[in-house]
Each structure stands twice: as structure tokens, then as C-alpha cells.
Amino acid sequence: MTQPHQTLGEFIIEHQRAFKYSTGELSRLINSIRLAAKVVNHEVNKAGLVDILGQHGETNIQGEDQQKLDVYANKLFIETLINREIVCGIASEEEDSFITVQGHNKAHDNKYVVLMDPLDGSSNIDVNVSVGTIFSVYRRITPIGQPVEMKDFLQPGNQQVAAGYIIYGTSTMLVYTTGHGVNGFTLNPAIGTYYLSNPNLKFPETGQIYSINEGNYVHFPQGVKDYIKYCQEEKDNRPYTSRYIGSLVSDIHRNMIKGGIYIYPKSSKVANGKLRLLYECNPMAFIVEQAGGKASDGYRRILDIQPTELHQRVPFFCGSKTMVEKAEEFMK
Ligand code: P6P
């Protein structure tokens, strides 16, 4: 009989020992995210059955129509993290500003801050396309007390201590890193347990898939137009295959399994691209680099960019190392 897969709980305990100075707070943080993800997964999977589809009737700071599930997921992750008094502050794509933990027991002295996109790609829910949650964890810089935006939240991505995503797809997976490689866990919904299904995920060095919204072609910089034509020409191992789900977590997860590049560039429509540096690009870049891939804004390593504001956007080139490097050649 094949060995049963290790559960996420067993994995965290086993790797907890690896953090000789760890007080277990990071493990408790990951555990609280996995719990919240199970609840969101339940809601996402029954969204078509109850009145939780469609728009919430308000817009977020991004000016995007909030879906009811966006609001639900945002509230659930925030409450789960605050109630466990593991973090001193939370920043969410759905919130105008960061949230401090007013809790008792001096919770605001906790040493981690979490930044997250609680339900990325949520416009796809109504058409039954997979969506995801993205999270990013930093150690606070200020020693104690209420966290400070500039110091504790606006840290470069190379300071992350953990990052991950949950993909609510044909199966629900939690994929995360704490800086020691990337591991994927699949949820068995029947018993509510995540099992280690994809140990030590590696991003293929190259691939045959390019993911970009070609509907914006006329608005792209010339370098991006030239790279798209490169992907389409009949030469060497090309033309590549075009695959674009319109859900960042799904597109990048597929490319990490099969090889490929995802690009959301700046354009004449969006001066710095659409994706948020803190909630989307930094966590995905940390995961992708830990799996051997590459992530840049076409010029600079994403993880080295010094953030200047919570909701800032950056162009995003992410995926198989040789494909990102080739695309960067066209951006020179
Ligand atoms: P577009 C979803 O809204 C998202 O933030 C990413 O998940 C996705 O990759 C991108 O935007 C899709 O944007 O402009 O191509 O519809």
C-alpha cells in the first residue's frame, strides 16, 4: 500500500522543527489561513446555489465592482487572523487602508503583518471559472505597538517570510513557501484535510505557453507587441500556445506545472499595469522564484522593488526563467 500523503498539519509541525528559533507563530498563521480557506472554498463551491453571486453593489479602492464573495472572503480572512491574535496588522486589496489588531493581550505586539488579495479573479465566479486567494507575510520592522504603514507594510518583497495562494478550482489547493522551496497541498473536502500532493514544486526552465490578454494588443508597448509576434512565429519550437484564463492564480499555477510565461504589462490604458505589487506580484514572485522561475516588471526583479504606496501597481512578467529573460530582451 502506498504511503498516505502527509497532511498539511503534519508538514507544518515537521518543518516547524526546522525553524530553531521559531515560536510557532508563523505555523499558527499558516494554520489560520488554511482554516479560512476551507470556509471560503465551501462558499465558492456553492456560490451558484445561494444568493451570493453577483455584485455587492459597492466598489473597492481600486474602483472595481465588489462581488459579494469578495466581501465575504475579505471579512473571513481578516476575522480569522485577528481572532487568533497572530498578526499585528493586515492589509487587503479590498480595504482602503491597513487594519491594526486592537485585540486584548497586547495583540498589536505580534510580530507579523499579512497582506492579501482575498479573492483574486472574482469576476470569474459567475461564469464558474477558478479563482484564488493570495497572501504575503512579513516580520514587522517597528519593535512593538501599532504597526506603521511605511515601515511595516511597505517592505520590498525580498523581505517576505512566507507567501502562498489557494486556488479554488477543479480541486482546492494551498501552495505556499516559507523560503525553503514550494509545496502544494490538495484539500480532501470530504474530510476537510489538506494532503501534500505536490512536494517541492519546480517551475520548468522553459515552456510553450504564453499568457497575456491579447485583446489589449493595440495598447501595449512596442517591446510587448514584438514579444507576442516572437511567440507566434513559426520557428524553432514556436509558435507557442496561448492560454489566458483571466485569473492570475490559475494562469500562474498552470504555468508552474507545465512551463510558461504570464505577462500583465503596462499599456496606454494602464500606465503601470493592472496588478498590485503588494497583494499579487510580490507573493507570486516569491513563490515562483522559490520554485526556480523568474519575476520582473520587464526590467527590475519584482522582489527588489521598494514599495511607495499600499495599492501601487507594477507591470508583471512571471514564469519560466528562460521565457522571462527572452521577453526582457524585447523590452530593452
Ligand atoms: P484582464 C483579475 O481581475 C486579475 O486581477 C488577475 O487575476 C487576472 O490575471 C487579471 O486581473 C485579468 O485582467 O484585464 O485581462 O481582464
Percent of the chain with pLDDT over 90: 64
Residue nearest to atom 9 of ligand 1 (CA): 248
| 3 falls within a domain | no
Of residues 175, 155, 179, the one with CA closest to residue 303? 155
| 152 falls within a domain | yes
| 1 falls within a domain | no
Least confident of 97-106, 204-213, 252-261: 97-106
C-alpha distances in Å from residue 257, one per residue of 162, 203, 260: 21, 7, 9
Mean pLDDT, residues 145-154 taken together = 87
Cell 525580498, residue located: 158
Q: Is 123 annotated as a binding residue?
A: yes
Domain of 89: which CATH number?
Answer: 3.30.540.10
Same domain, residue pair 105 and 176: yes
Ligand 1 atom with the shortest distance to the CA of 247: 7
pLDDT > 50? residue 40: yes
Residue range of the domain that includes 223: 209-331
Distance 99 CA to ligand 1 centre (A): 25
**pLDDT tens figures, 45-94:** 877 665 555 566 666 666 666 667 888 899 999 999 988 878 989 999 98
Q: Which of 264, 268, 279, 313 to mutate to test the pocket of ligand 1 (most atoms within 8 A of CB)?
A: 264
**pLDDT tens figures, 178-199:** 999 999 999 998 888 999 999 9
Model pTM score: 0.93
Classify strands 112-120 and 87-92 as parallel, antiparallel or unpaired. Answer: parallel
Residue nearest to atom 10 of ligand 1 (CA): 246
Q: Is 268 annotated as a binding residue?
A: no
Distance 120 CA to ligand 1 centre (A): 8
**pLDDT tens figures, 109-122:** 788 999 999 999 88
Let me know: does 314 contact 306? Beta carbons within 8 Å: no
Q: Which amino acid is at 305?
A: I
Give the pocket of ligand 1 (CB within 6 Å).
120-121, 123, 213, 246-248, 251, 274
Same domain, residue pair 245 and 300: yes
Q: How far apart are the first and last CA of the chain?
A: 55
